[in-house]
Structure 1
Amino acid sequence: MNSKKHQIQFTKKILTSFIGAFSLSLLAHTASAQIGSASVQGMIASHLQPQPGIEVIAKNVDNGYTFRALTQKDGTYSFKGLAPGNYQIFLEAAAGKAPEPVVLKVGQSVALDFEIDKPLTNADKAEEILIVGSQLKIKSSGGEIGTNVSLEQINKLPQNTRNFLAFADLAPGVQFNQGTDGSTSIKGGAQSPDAINVFIDGVGQKNYVLRGGVTGQDSSRGNPFPQSAIGEYKVITQNYSAEYDQLSSAAIVAVTKSGSNEFHGGLFFDYTDEGMRKPRPSEEKNNNEKVESNQKQFGFNVGGPIIQDKMHFFFAYEGKNNADPKDVIPGGGATVADLPSALQAQTGGRSADFKEDLYFGKLSYLVSDEQKLELTAKIRKETELTGIGERNALSYGTDKKNDETRIDLSHNWRTDDWINDAHLLYEENTWSPRPHSMGNGFKYSNGGGQAILNVGGGPDFQDKGQSGWGLQEDFTYLAIQGHSIKTGIKYKSIELHAKEQQPYNPQYEYNLQYDRNASVPFKVRWGAPLTGIGDGTAKGDNMQLGIYIQDEWTATDNLTVNAGLRWDYEESDSFLDYKTPTDVVEGITKWVGIGKSDLDINDYVSTGNNRNSFKNAWQPRIGFSYKFNDEHDMTLFGGVGRAFDRNLFDNLQLETTKATFPAYEALFITADPSHPCAPDACVAWDPKYLTRDGLTQLQTGNKGAGREVFMVNNNLKTPYSDQYSLGLRGSLNENWNGEVSISRIVSKDGFAWRLANRRDDGSFFAPGTTWGAPWGFGIPGFGATIIGDNGIETKANSFYLKLERPKAESNWGFALAYTYTDPTTNRESGEVFALDYPTLNDYGMHPANKVPNHRLVVTTIVGLPLDIDFSAKLNLQTDRYFYGTDCRVGWTACKFDTFTPDESFIYKQLDIAFSKNISTGGWITDSSMTVRLDVLNLFNSFNYDGYESWFGGAGENLPDNFGKHNDSLAGPTRTVKLGVSWNW
């Protein structure tokens, strides 16, 4: 064993011991409030004279949990770390006034001052206190840009997925996207979905292995959590405090429901099928013959007391069974008529199945007025057919399992001077795709390399996930007047694993533009294990450590400043201890071209001792809010900060898995001018190469022949974003609130794979050309050499507008979120392979795709006569950019370019819902049944998600169908969904 590994193990042992001792010390002596908790604070005075020593009580109306605080010398009191909900605030000895009701939202701070009738002396402290007045105000968070999503909005606004995150787009700057495959994701600004994090009951749900930001959301149609178990949540667009970790764009902070002192529960069932929707574009072209499809969503929840005012439980289950329509559409400028007849039969509408089961349970116990224990568990089970639609035929699809378990044991302890929130965590997530059909796969493209159609056996065979435990401690100190000082530490020990046998089925590539009959492929790629070495499996022991300190300083009655500093560190032995195979190192010494290039390949050769973990993840964050007046709560706010995300294991593991289950490739001799190769790098075609035995012969006797080599930079950095904002918020009158802000977010050091191949003279492109990657010029005896490095960058300048009329006690509510964004990036969003140019700088900065310039989301909830509720949600987007390839100047002078479809709105959708409550009190007291009708996409707008992006080949004009939509849609056609629920 090498010394570095000894050093890492020694460090972990010391660190674990330190954290264990530190945690026990905190449990005995200190405390902190969890992410998303709320607070109530204020002053008790008589004729402007502060009143110390008065006991203030905060009682949760639903479960009876009671908390107490004494006013300090300056007459102030404070309740920090309260779970969001309905409370009564009162003085123990008060008379003549009912308790003050307070509704606390996620992350909200409320100021509640009391005026009593006379100053108190030591002699009359025990007498009754007469309250003559009180004043309730919502305090602004320093610099934070956030939007609360209420339980009423979750329950009543129309939606299709029952994914509680679907309402995150009520916050300006945030998108909830549904892809053509039905998968859902959240984006903040111009960054990828990987950069978000979701915190449930104070605990991050980050995916350390796969994409999507949240475990289980990589290309899944499923939901991350039962919607019926969510109480409410908050979307923080930027300028979050230092306690938020492992993200560089939006943070979603949710709290779950708990049992109360009364038994409550409910059940629901939603249904729709192909008879309840309008035809999709491809179905219209097929005489309106619809693909069979349906969606069933169902579940129940129950909660109540085990011991009144002491112990409560809550349980929720939700299930989903889908058969979703997909459209298989040729790309690359081709139409169905351009395809051979055998391929034409594989286009058109298809159905893809999906099944999900979600379970959540919570047990809460109030040990005393100062201490609370809570145990929660979530289980998620999914199976689905995915990877079909657009360019992928049904035969090319993937069968996938997606399972997750999370357990959280928390202990909350509060005193007058501090609060503690400690979490002991366990998590396990597995993601296992397999090819839907076995056999050879065939990929058809045009001369510019754009995909036309993929059929046959798909390449996808994986088993990836994360499992392990964690400890999270947060400490808030309240004894210094005007300050709320919060600090914390998080430690995780996680095993990351990946098994990747890619491509599992051999993939043969044909240029249909040159060879319409697909008689001879120009390339084949296949995977095979290295005998006696490995089978494409990688495992890594991952240690994560994060510490922070944050001070919320009430500098004056009008000025609040939040200043914090965070530091994160991560060790993964699969990266640190990896050793570049000896045969690869030997091959590099014979590589003539790399020695003449400007690329230092030694930066990517690992000895097992020359790598270090990134240690500079220092993240200063500061925000402020200044209230100009009390009449309209007009407040100026702003902030600046840095936030580090992380490098995904799914990228780093390729270095190991490709070294033991490498992808081989062979280039075949053709006269195709768009696919030339070095004279000694091409093989004469023989039909025997359509068999495994034939491919084995292509490997020759040399186990390295044709083998791809993946290498990661030894000094890999962690991606981050710098965030700046300034805004103004306030109440326009007693019913309306408004907010405007400007924002700039710059993200850097995103991970990308580049091609290290260099021609014999050290160049990337052939002399006189600007296109044509040097395939066949990798490490001698091997295939392509691909290097992993930092370099993806995005910039987004934005203007946010938010207007809100809370429904509260009135019969209607309204919310508007408008975002203008000017986004740029040097790589297509979601794409980590950049193999067409030698550096990422060569791609240049382009308008970022998948980010609209203008975005407007409007919602309303209205109470109608006969106990009917009406709700609506409007989503409008314009100017969305798409990437394409332009080879009109010549096959050796192609380039990437962007375009916007020639449409006024790239996305427009209006959803409405009606619900009617019917009392069933004759069956069970206080019970009711609700029947519901949702009409999704009322005006049947076709929101196309794919456009012809082929600018044309050498000497050609711009194709007639360039920039025109194909038939793939994001979101539904007009769809009617029926639902029924019963609650008691």
Structure 2
Amino acid sequence: MSNRIGRHHRARLLLRGAIGAALVTSGAASLAQLTTATLRGTVSGANGAPVTVTAQETGTGLMRHAVTGRDGSYTLPGLRPGSYTLRFEAAGLRATRDVTIGVGQSATLDIALAPAAAPAGQGAAPASPDKNAIIVTATRLVETRTSEVATNVTTQQIQNLPQSSRNFLNFAQLAPGVRVSTNPLRKTFSGGSVGQDPNGDSLASPQVNVFIDGVSLKSDIQQGGIVGGDSSRGNPFPQAAVQEFRVLSSNFKAEYEDAGTAVISAVTKSGGNSFHGEAFGFFQLDSLRAKDYFQRRNAAAGVADEGKFSQKQYGASLGGPIIKDRLHFFVAYEANEQKNVQSVTIGQQTPDNIARFGRYQGSYTSPFREDLGFAKLSLEASEQDRIDLSGSIRKEHEMAGFGGQTAYEAGSRTANTVYTGRLRWQHDAGDVSNEASLNYLYYKFDPSILSPDQVGQNFDSALRIGGASTSQKVVQKGFTLRDAVTISNVDFLGGNHVFKTGFKLAFQDYTVNNALNANPVYNYANRPDLNEDFSQPFEAQYGVGNPEVRAKDTQLGLFAQDDWRVTDRITLNLGLRWDYETNAKNNDYVTPPDAAAALRALEAVLAPQGSSFRAADYISTGKNRKPFLKAIQPRVGASYDLFGDQRTVVFIGWGRYYDRTLFRNAAEEALFRQYTSRSFQFSKDGLPRNGQPTILWNPAYLTGGRAALDGLIASSTAPAGELRIIRNDVKPPHTDQFSLGVRQKVGRLISGSISYQHADARDQVGYYPVNRSVARNAAGFLDFIPVTGFSDVVAMTQARASKYDAMFVTFDKAFTRASPWSLNIAYTLAYSKERGYSFNFDFPDVAQQPFRPNAGNERHRVVVSGLAQLPLGFQISSLAVFGSGQPFLVTDQRNGAGAGLVLGNYGNSKAFRQVDVRLTKDVPLFRTGAKLQLIAELFNIFNRANFAGYDGFLPQAPATNPSFGVPNTLAGPPRTFQFGARLTF
């Protein structure tokens, strides 16, 4: 039976009160700028007369209206991102502008009226567009008067920059301070280096969030930040359905939740009054790909290459009218079929290891299949009302979990499933814009063991062989209601205000099934000082019991913000947010009596040593864990237009941002009690080791597998496994962000910025062993303290913290018909350090650890992208990434494995360099308006061997590690050609 976790009556009463207050506050619904944009400005030349402002969307013909206030100011909130024709009209006066505005922008457009006979800004009619050109239909507005640090990634960039996997999140690295994972099996991104662990992976959520049409893809259970982002090479959404997105790197507004460092907000395409669509196909073959570093090394050693790489990506999209001007549709489908090559290599390349494990080395195929779909209906019910109904599907299967120092047979079959649905209504009534949405999210992560008939064997610093140890099933599903109101053109306190206020209410249902070590794994180590070698295991781990926990959780978020235009030069961004969860900490869990007794006994032993451990802080009665009520998040900023022309703008901002602890952290406390991973310590003599009892080794324990270990459990010679505990007062992690900078426009096409960013992240989750002595023994070790009935007591700590300081520099030159090339540069100079790791077994008190560089401490990073129109219908584009290299984790035991141990990210990795290029040729198809685009792409054109992981172990003298600093995994592909075609109409 599963452990069902309920909600408290008191929490429900509080939640009802908060919802009532939110309804009174908001009155109506608005998603603020998760999916929309705001245009504001001042109209001059009307001599005090009111000016009618009309915005007509190019694709659908939908119109929005506003009237200027007494000072000539106007605001158009809730605009769908895209291209508009703007008309400004008063008695005998008129002006017209064609503009494009991006998602999430609060753009400013000031207009001077002219007599209607000579409309301002109107010249000769534009020439007919070149059907071979990159389409740019209007002037893209550049947002300057804001304290947010954000980057908009346009449709042109998504469609035209080189892209190997069609994962639109890869373009998030066009924003400074944001890094995309180079691990092909973990499609994540990070901001501010928070949450980075050894070798660049994150064992906790890196405190990011992704919204697609306002639907949050936040993973409440699994690692990776967003659903499906962990342990998968798949894409979160069909790229053909993404219109554009916005990357918020720092100081984002109060409407954004569940993110401490970075947010991506994307909007999807919609159908219009004419039919538009595309069909595409791309392929990569093994013959079009150079051998990577490890394949070449294995070939030189005479190791057979058993893997053949290939990739096929194909799909189609279509949008158009069902009822002209009223009802439109859009659908998209994409498939991705891959056969990837994973190289298995021995860690420490000693003669003994090569003789023992050489047969496992080689390159093996890892097959993968993903299907992505999206559909949307858009109803223009009236000039004031728009209703959208949309849904998406993601299904994928993969053979993964091997490569590096893990043999093929130790892999897993991974399955990911994500469904989303959304019903959205927007109503505009003058200066009040209302939106409401009901969202649904279903996510299932379901990996299984590839070789369940083989026990696992892990030879430390050499190779992992045998079957995988763990199967899982993680399910997250829930409904979310978002409700708010935007009120514009409010003249108050001598300025013009845009007020936004609203709430989010989510009902979540979680399932965590984690059969940890259900397939036994035997650990080996070469430790002469402990009389251990590879001839027999020193430990076996084996899980038994019920591996499933279920829970329900209700989440509430309230926000209010004010964009206050104090003067024509000064704009203030003032916001406040509050978040609350009823069951983030497994509140109804009751600590079993044997566990509570063990914790009290452990406190009695540790107290005389000066330990601060208090058993009562971790013993749950089912009534003493209260929801966290202090997630109050002020977010403030200001911008100052030095000359009043939007060209030189100074900005400053500060804010607090709460993320959330993964529910899995709380679930594992219950899971480790009802499902136990037993640890059996073996030795050659059966004597205690480091104060811990051992079992005299018998080869039957290995050949007998599960049955032999079941016998050990039945004979009660092994403890009940790990006791995992969390504090009753667990808090969600938070980040305080500060930024200061200046933006500069040069002419109509060039803009840039330079800014200083600081992030201080606290209350991050880590774990440490409690049953260790506070003081070190003569050898420098923390003595093991036996705990009745348990092998270890591992407690959650929130003393883990990060600090990030950086300088961001951006340069952007826009693409136009008159100047048909673009260039975008994002430079980051960063210093990142961290106190503590995910698992801290080398210090008695994490809070007393020093801040040391974390794996995200890459000093310099430059991302350059650009595209250009060439003669004869050719276009060229490029994306280049240059990084000074991330440090890797070093475990230095040369001065002793105890007090002399030095642990930190000090390894000097090689610089990262990858340059990708795309060349396209457009072929018009007769006079139909359709176009065939032939595409050739080359990734990593210089065939740079970029590494992601290194051997960082330095053993205690006199032993040595000849493989120290030797790379064991790659970050990115070898030189690879991709060819494709795209038909558009």
Structure 2 equivalent of residue 170 of structure 1 = 174
User: What SS class does the counterpart of residue 8 from structure 2 fall into?
Assistant: helix
Q: Are the equivalent residues in 2 in contact too, given 1:95–1:130 (CA < 8 A)? A: no
Question: 1:818 corresponds to which residue?
Answer: 827
The answer as to 2:700 corresponding to 1:687 is yes
- Please say if residues 584 and 627 of structure 2, whose CA atoms lie closer than 8 Å, have aligned partners that are also in contact: no
Deviation at 1:953, TM superposition (A): 2.2
1:943 alignment partner in structure 2: 946
- Which residue number corresponds to residue 83 of structure 2? 86
- CA contact 1:402–1:431 (8 Å) conserved in 2: yes
CA contact (8 A) 2:510 2:551 kept: yes
1:57: which partner in 2? Answer: 54
Question: Counterparts in 2 of 1:361-760, with a 5 A limit?
Answer: 361-446=375-460, 451-481=461-491, 482-512=496-526, 514=528, 518-529=534-545, 535-572=546-583, 575-591=586-602, 593-597=605-609, 598=611, 599-630=613-644, 633-670=647-684, 676-678=689-691, 680-688=693-701, 690-700=704-714, 705-758=719-772
Could you tell me which residue of structure 1 aligns to residue 125 of structure 2? none
1:459 and 1:503 in contact (8 A); partners too: yes
Q: Are residues 1:769 and 2:766 paired?
A: no
Alpha-carbon contact 1:435-1:457 (below 8 Å) kept: yes
Within 1, Cα distance between the matches of 2:656 and 2:18? 28
Asked if 1:799 is matched to 2:807, the reply is yes
Q: Which residue of 2 aligns with 1:124?
A: none
Q: Deviations over 1:729-786 (max 9, x none)?
A: 111333321110011111011011211113xxxx246522333562xx3421221111
Deviations 1:203-249 (CA, angstroms, capped at 9, x unpaired): 32111011111111012100011111111111110010111110001
2:929 maps to 926
Work out whether 1:37 is the aligned partner of 2:36: yes
The more displaced of 487-496 and 347-356 is 347-356
- How far did residue 687 of structure 1 move? 1.4
- Is 1:858 the counterpart of 2:856? The answer is no
CA contact (8 A) 2:800 2:847 kept: no
How far does residue 175 in structure 1 lie from its aligned partner after superposition?
0.6
Q: Distance in 2 between matches of 1:154 and 1:927?
A: 20
In 1, the alpha carbon distance for the partners of 2:110 and 2:908 equals: 57
Instruction: Tell me what 1:185 maps to.
Output: 188
Q: Name the CA distance, whole Å, in 2 between partners of 1:136 and 1:254.
A: 17
C-alpha offsets along residues 599-644 of structure 1, whole Å, 9 cap, x if unaligned? 2122111111111121111111111111112557111011011100
Q: Distance in 1 between matches of 2:97 and 2:779?
A: 76
Q: How many residues align?
A: 942
Change (3 A) 1:621 1:672: farther
Q: Supply the AA of the counterpart residue of 2:813.
A: R
Q: What does residue range 879-894 of structure 1 map to in structure 2 within 5 Å?
A: 879-894=885-900
Q: Does 1:199 align with 2:211?
A: yes
Q: Deviations over 1:379-433 (max 9, x none)?
A: 1101111211112111111111110111111111111121111111111101011
**Displacement, 1:787?**
1.0
The aligned amino acid for 2:476 is Q
SS in 1 for 2:689: coil
Confirm or deny that 1:73 pairs with 2:81: no
How far did 1:858 drift?
A: 0.8
* Identical residues among aligned pairs (%): 30
Tell me the TM-score normalized by structure 1: 0.91
Partner of 1:218: 230
1:75-98 deviation per Cα after TM superposition (whole angstroms, max 9, x unaligned): 333210101111111146787867
After TM superposition, give the deviation of residue 5 of structure 1 in Å.
Answer: 8.8
CA change 1:117–1:819 in 2 (3 A) is closer
Given that residues 505 and 555 in structure 2 are in contact (C-alpha distance below 8 angstroms), is that contact kept between their aligned partners in structure 1? yes
| Alignment match, 1:977 | 978
Separation in structure 1 between the aligned mates of residue 37 and residue 868 of structure 2, nearest angstrom: 28
- Work out whether residues 810 and 826 of structure 2, in 8 Å CA contact, stay in contact via their aligned partners in 1: yes
Note the alpha carbon deviations across 1:530-560, whole angstroms, 9 max, x for none: xxxxx11111111101001100000110111
Residue deviations 1:497-522 (CA, integer Å, cap 9, x gap): 10111012101111145589733211
Unaligned runs of 5+ in 2: 123-138, 196-204
Which amino acid in 2 is paired with 1:102? V
Q: Contact 1:157–1:873 at 8 Å: present in 2 too? A: yes
What CA distance in whole angstroms lies between the structure 1 residues aligned with 2:845 and 2:455? 31
CA distance in 1, matches of 2:519, 2:663: 24
User: How far does the alpha carbon of each residue in 1:657-699 deviate from its partner, in whole angstroms, 9 at most, with x for none?
Assistant: 11111100111123699x9243645444351454322212222
The two structures, once aligned, show a CA RMSD in angstroms of: 2.7
- Output the amino acid matched with 1:389: G
Could you report, residue by residue, the CA deviation over 1:842-884 in whole angstroms, capped at 9, with x for unpaired residues? 5421111133110011111011111101011111111421111
**Partner residue, 1:122:** none
Q: CA deviation at 1:32?
A: 5.8
**CA distance 1:589–1:565, change in 2 (3 Å):** closer
Letter of the aligned partner of 1:884 in structure 2? V
Q: Counterpart of 1:528 in 2: which secondary structure?
A: strand
Paired residues of 1:627 and 1:636 also in contact (CA < 8 A): yes
Q: Which moved more, 1:817-826 or 1:334-343?
A: 334-343
Contact 1:198 1:206 in 2 (8 A): yes
Report how far residue 174 of structure 1 moved: 0.6
Please give the alpha-carbon distance, in whole angstroms, between the structure 2 residues aligned to 1:552 and 1:854. 34
The CA distance in 2 between the partners of 1:571 and 1:945, in whole Å, is 40
Alpha carbons of structure 1 residues 658 and 899: separation in structure 2 relative to 1, 3 Å: closer
Q: For residue 358 of structure 1, what is the aligned residue in structure 2?
A: 372
The residue identity in structure 1 corresponding to 2:836 is: R
What CA distance in whole angstroms lies between the structure 1 residues aligned with 2:5 and 2:663? 19
Deviation per residue, 1:34-55 (Å, 9 max, x gap): 42421223344436x2222x43
Out of 243, 267, 276, the position equivalent to 2:255 is 243
Q: Report the equivalent of 2:917.
A: 912
**Is contact 2:179-2:190 (8 Å) kept?**
yes
Of residues 284, 292, 299, the one that matches 1:287 is: 299
2:965 is matched with 963
- Output the CA distance in 2 between the equivalents of 1:570 and 1:679: 41
CA contact (8 A) 1:32 1:419 kept: no
* Deviation by residue 1:103-150 (Cα, 9 ceiling, x = unmatched): 1112223334444458xxxxxxxxx89755699975524211111111
Residue 198 of structure 2 corresponds to: none
The answer on 1:844 being equivalent to 2:843 is no
SS in 1 for 2:844: coil
Preserved CA contact (<8 Å) 1:540 1:573: no
Distance in 2 between residues matched to 1:306 and 1:624, nearest whole Å: 45
Report the TM-score, using the length of structure 2 for normalisation: 0.91
State the AA in 1 paired with 2:691.
A
Q: Is the 8 A contact 2:144 2:646 kept in 1?
A: no
Amino acid aligned to 1:678 = G
**Paired residue type of 2:822:** G
SS class of match (1:575) = coil
Which sits farther off after the overlay, 893-902 or 290-299?
Answer: 893-902
* Secondary structure at the counterpart of residue 446 of structure 2: strand
Pair 1:370–1:32, CA change in 2 (3 A): farther
Per-residue CA distance 1:932-954 (angstroms, 9 max, x = gap): 01000000000011222112223
Between the aligned partners of 2:436 and 2:757, the Cα distance in structure 1 is 34
SS of 2:281's partner is strand
Question: CA shift at 1:197, angstroms?
Answer: 0.6
Corresponding residue SS for 1:751: strand
Which secondary structure does the structure 1 equivalent of 2:387 belong to? Answer: strand
- 1:125 — aligned with what? none
